[in-house]
Structure 1
Amino acid sequence: MTADTLADRWRAVRARVDAACRTAGRDPAEVAILPVSKTHPPTAIEQALSLGLHRFGENRVQEIRDKAAALPGCDIAWVVIGHLQTNKAKYVAQLASEVQSLDRMDLAEALQHRLEIEDRVLDVLVQVKTSPEPSKFGLPPEKLIAFLTALRDFPRLQVRGLMTMAIQSDDAQAVRSCFRDLRRLRDQAQEQGFELPRLSMGMSGDFELAIAEGSTEVRIGTAIFGARQAL
């Protein structure tokens, strides 16, 4: 992939996001784009850095380790968006700037412990399961308030909002329902005193629908970097 190709794709995605915002009656400045670089090589990230991008989403902690080693000195904020095992908490605490897939207490405990050792704090989003698909991860919606309450005892974890993955379906209403449910859960939580300004929802195939339902950040991989590469 050439640098021109990446630049063209980035501009096209930004234009689509802006258009979706205007259609929804929203200010485009309200919606950030998180480029998802998973499976793509460090050279692709170097091209993205040349465009002024510096935050990149990755599913696997091992990929963050490898890419961070291959790109020393680069001003990169690594964002973990995939399901996270507790035994990876050490590397997350050392390398990541944010985790968008916090969904259970044992993971919160592991991250808190490792962050204390590293003397760092970490932005986190709580992942909520709004799709009926068994393959999707996330906290059950009915447990959100109790989980947010418990997280107040973890000062190294700075809760900034919520994340979800919609059902994979051609039914736009089914997809929108997943995003709408997360927004409603956020609103209910805020009514109970939790400050949750961010809603990370929407990917390459459904981000316009997510923006219509209130997303503040869309996670875009394929539309920016092209088809996933084999690991």
Structure 2
Amino acid sequence: MPVADTLAAVQARIQRACAISGRAPTAVRLVAVSKLHPAALVAEAAASGQTVFGENYVQELVDKAAQLTCPVEWHMIGHLQSNKVKYLPGIVSMIHTVDRLSLAQEIDRQWRTKLAAPCDILVQVNVSGESTKSGTTRAEALALVQAIAPLPNVRIRGLMTMPPFFDDPESARPYFKELRLLADQIRSAEIPGVEMTELSMGMSGDFEVAIEEGATLVRVGTAIFGER
């Protein structure tokens, strides 16, 4: 099926989920996850109106960004090593996976050196506690946000999580709800310079439930580009 058709189908699902939960469709942005798919498919999606793309691997992101001539917005959504941050200034507009102070400090350093504008980041929280997933713990999230907040060249915009995989998307709902409640808790702390306007949660199999629980960014790959 052409990317234009799969993209339209996903957008329709987003609109239905927004309607069910009483939210405006403009409250949710689709991050098309192009991991391991060629730049030509990204260009095809962009030609169909998709503007935001997410990549998991730094080198793949850098390579695709160099190949595309159309204006798109890149988000880094995969685990990020500090020694790879130097390749991202000027390419990515948001990093979803900041899970430790040392990484935030390196982002701050690289953006200070190479760009005048700060980098928008999300703090990744491992709400499930799975050892195979990155992210700070729910208990430590507030302290991490407080530690990152004073850095002048990063701007915390919200939180990100990945729940366990379930065949039934309803099983992921408690994890999405937990992230939303954690964002509310951090917001109530009124930390200077910190926003909790973005919740990055939900993928191809469960993004409708994530939207119902407050997602503002849904990371969808397979439903748009097919299996890798």
TM-score by length of 1: 0.92
User: Does 2:106 match 1:110?
Assistant: yes
Paired residues for 1:152-191 under 5 Å: 152-191=149-188
What is the CA-CA distance between 1:95 and the residue it aligns to?
2.1
What is the CA-CA distance between 1:76 and the residue it aligns to?
2.2
* Counterpart for residue 119 of structure 2: 122
Question: Retained in 2: the 8 A contact 1:128–1:140?
Answer: yes
Structure 1's unaligned 5+ residue stretches are none
Question: Using the alignment, how far apart are the partners of 1:204 and 1:90 within structure 2?
Answer: 30
Question: Using the alignment, how far apart are the partners of 2:40 and 2:80 within structure 1?
Answer: 25
Report percent identity of matched pairs.
45
* Residue in structure 2 matching 1:24, options 9, 15, 21: 21
Question: Using the alignment, how far apart are the partners of 1:219 and 1:88 within structure 2?
Answer: 22
Question: Retained in 1: the 8 A contact 2:159–2:199?
Answer: yes
Give 3-state SS (helix, strand or coil) of 2:202's partner: coil
What is the CA-CA distance between 1:171 and the residue it aligns to?
4.8
Post-superposition Cα deviations, 1:92-139, rounded to whole Å, max 9, x if no partner, equal: 224211100011011011111111110242111111111232211111
Structure 2 vs 1, CA of residues 113 and 142 (structure 1 numbering), >3 Å: closer, same or farther? same
* Counterpart for residue 43 of structure 2: 46
RMSD: 1.4
Give 3-state SS (helix, strand or coil) of 1:93's partner: coil
Question: Retained in 2: the 8 A contact 1:132–1:167?
Answer: no
Question: Retained in 1: the 8 A contact 2:89–2:115?
Answer: no
Post-superposition Cα deviations, 1:116-170, rounded to whole Å, max 9, x if no partner, equal: 1102421111111112322111111111111111112211111111110011123
Question: Using the alignment, how far apart are the partners of 2:180 and 2:77 within structure 1?
Answer: 19
* Residue in structure 2 matching 1:86, options 79, 82, 85: 82
What is the CA-CA distance between 1:54 and the residue it aligns to?
2.4
Query: Given residue 214 of structure 2, which amino acid in structure 1 is its aligned partner?
Result: G
Question: Using the alignment, how far apart are the partners of 1:14 and 1:203 within structure 2?
Answer: 13
How many aligned positions are there? 224
Query: Given residue 111 of structure 1, which amino acid in structure 2 is its aligned partner?
Result: I
Question: Retained in 1: the 8 A contact 2:169–2:205?
Answer: no
* Counterpart for residue 5 of structure 2: 8
* Counterpart for residue 61 of structure 1: 58
Query: Given residue 198 of structure 2, which amino acid in structure 1 is its aligned partner?
Result: R
User: Does 2:223 match 1:213?
Assistant: no
What is the CA-CA distance between 1:205 and the residue it aligns to?
0.6
Question: Retained in 1: the 8 A contact 2:129–2:137?
Answer: no
Post-superposition Cα deviations, 1:55-87, rounded to whole Å, max 9, x if no partner, equal: 21000000011112222x431221000000001
What is the CA-CA distance between 1:173 and the residue it aligns to?
4.7
Question: Using the alignment, how far apart are the partners of 1:172 and 1:33 within structure 2?
Answer: 18
Paired residues for 1:91-102 under 5 Å: 91-102=87-98
What is the CA-CA distance between 1:212 and the residue it aligns to?
1.4
Question: Using the alignment, how far apart are the partners of 1:29 and 1:94 within structure 2?
Answer: 26
Query: Given residue 33 of structure 2, which amino acid in structure 1 is its aligned partner?
Result: V
* Counterpart for residue 204 of structure 1: 204
User: Does 2:133 match 1:139?
Assistant: no
